[in-house]
């Protein structure tokens, strides 16, 4: 199986989100519901996306709270409708284990390592990390924590994928946002650690999250097809993956 595209439904309006589900459902199997849509439409949004033909939901709420709060939130029956859920790794294994224990095995917990909007310079400034600690070392450290806590996978940038694959092989599902085709220009882009779809596919990434290059394209279906072609172009490389 090739690298799959996850499309984030980054809209405040559910109707607009459902329009994109209708447009892209033949090309995209997993739709991501993040803070913007969830804050505006809640669990109803999840149900409507499924009813509109979305085959899988990635609920990207990036949980970041004390273990008990995360545990109780994830006990919601809504989680049974969801394939992936994100939890931050920054505050240690307690939150990650609480999340893993709260959901059924069909719902996969992904540990967010370091946001792709964060650059190396910001990392040292914000986290007060010593200069000799690299982004990759931090991502690997957090990925290991996620794996030990029982997470099914991680979210990281495409720049760290080779090291992740070297350390964990196919033991962790890899989800990579910050993906920019060479032809796309995202105005005021906040993503910093970016790769192209081809780079990501070549490195054996399981899922890429591609939002604005598709959402803001003149023709979102054509943009999706172009990205799929780029991925397809790496098919003969025979890379190890975690997706069936
Ligand atoms: O392609 P684009 O930058 O528009 O995609 C942005 C989406 O990826 C958002 O929904 C954002 O929440 C998500 N994301 C991210 N970085 C992460 C995890 C998710 O940008 N580490």
How many angstroms does the Cα of residue 78 sit away from the middle of ligand 1? 22
Tens-place pLDDT, residues 30-60: 999 999 999 999 999 999 999 999 999 999 9
How many angstroms does the Cα of residue 209 sit away from the middle of ligand 1? 7
Tokens linked to 146:
């996620």
Which segments of 52-102 does DSSP mark as H helices, in order? 67-73, 93-102
Rounded CA separation 103/57 (Å) = 15
Domain range summary for the chain, segments of one domain joined by +: 4-235
How many angstroms does the Cα of residue 6 sit away from the middle of ligand 1? 10
Find all residues with CB under 8 Å of 121, minimum gap 6, and list them: none
Tokens linked to 239:
């890379």
Closest to 221 (Cα-Cα) out of 6, 28, 3: 28
Checking if the pLDDT of 244 tops 90, the result is: no
The helix/strand/coil state of 93 is helix
Question: Which residue's structure tokens are 């559910």?
Answer: 14
Q: Which pLDDT score, from 0 to 100, does residue 186 have?
A: 81
Closest to 29 (Cα-Cα) out of 229, 238, 224, 231: 224
Q: Which pLDDT score, from 0 to 100, does residue 124 have?
A: 84
Q: Which pLDDT score, from 0 to 100, does residue 234 have?
A: 81
Q: Which pLDDT score, from 0 to 100, does residue 147 have?
A: 98
Please, what sign has the CA dihedral across residues 181, 184, 215, 62?
A: positive
Q: What b/e readout covers 47-66, taking b as 16+ CB neighbours within 10 angstroms? A: ebbbebebebbbbbbebeee
Superfamily of chain region 4-235: Aldolase class I (3.20.20.70)
Q: Whose CA is nearest to atom 1 of ligand 1?
A: 211
Q: Which of 62, 81, 108, 226 is catalytic?
A: 62
Tens-place pLDDT, residues 196-229: 999 999 999 999 999 999 999 999 999 999 999 9
Q: Contact, 108 vs 161, CB < 8 A?
A: no
Which numbered atom of ligand 1 lies nearest the CA of 190? Answer: 3
Going by the DSSP 8-state scheme, the letter that residue 116 receives in this structure is T
Its pTM stands at: 0.93
| pLDDT averaged over every residue in the chain | 93
Q: Which pLDDT score, from 0 to 100, does residue 20 have?
A: 98
Q: Which pLDDT score, from 0 to 100, does residue 243 have?
A: 59
* Neighbour tally for 41: CB within 10 Å: 22
Question: Which residue's structure tokens are 């509109």?
Answer: 52
Which numbered atom of ligand 1 lies nearest the CA of 155? Answer: 21
Q: Whose CA is nearest to atom 8 of ligand 1?
A: 177
Q: Which pLDDT score, from 0 to 100, does residue 241 have?
A: 61
Pocket test for ligand 1, best of 5, 6, 7, 8 (most atoms within 8 A of CB): 8
Going by the DSSP 8-state scheme, the letter that residue 9 receives in this structure is -
Rounded CA separation 233/228 (Å) = 9
Alpha carbon distances (Å) from 61 to 74, 78, 79, 109, 127: 11, 13, 12, 11, 22
Q: Which residues line ligand 1 (CB under 6 A)?
A: 8, 10, 32, 34, 60, 112, 115-116, 155, 177-178, 191, 209-212
Pocket test for ligand 1, best of 40, 209, 227 (most atoms within 8 A of CB): 209
Tens-place pLDDT, residues 105-160: 999 999 999 998 888 888 888 888 888 889 999 999 999 999 999 999 999 999 99
Tens-place pLDDT, residues 77-117: 999 999 999 999 999 999 999 999 999 999 999 999 999 88
* Active-site residue, 144 included: no
């Amino acid at each position: 199986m090739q690298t799959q595209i996850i499309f984030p439904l980054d809209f405040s309006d559910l109707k607009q989100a459902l329009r994109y589900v209708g447009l892209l459902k033949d090309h995209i199997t997993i739709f991501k519901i993040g803070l913007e849509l969830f804050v505006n439409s809640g669990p109803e949004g999840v149900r409507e996306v499924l009813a509109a033909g979305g085959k899988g939901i990635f609920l990207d709420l990036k949980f970041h709270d004390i273990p008990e709060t995360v545990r109780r939130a994830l006990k919601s029956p809504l989680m049974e409708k969801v394939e992936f859920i994100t939890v931050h790794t920054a505050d240690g294994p307690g939150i990650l284990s609480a999340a893993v224990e709260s959901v059924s095995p069909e719902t996969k917990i992904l540990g967010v390592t370091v946001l792709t909007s964060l650059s190396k310079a910001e990392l040292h400034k914000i986290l007060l990390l010593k200069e000799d600690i690299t982004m990759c070392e931090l991502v690997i450290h957090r990925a290991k924590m996620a794996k030990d806590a029982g997470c099914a996978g991680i979210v990281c940038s495409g720049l760290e994928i080779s090291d992740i694959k070297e350390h964990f092989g196919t033991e962790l599902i890899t989800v990579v946002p910050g993906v920019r085709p060479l032809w796309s220009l995202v105005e005021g882009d906040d993503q910093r650690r970016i790769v192209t779809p081809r780079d990501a596919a070549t490195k054996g990434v399981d899922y890429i999250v591609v939002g604005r290059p598709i959402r803001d394209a003149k023709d979102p279906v054509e943009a999706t097809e172009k990205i799929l072609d780029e991925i397809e172009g790496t098919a003969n490389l025979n890379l190890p993956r975690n997706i069936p």
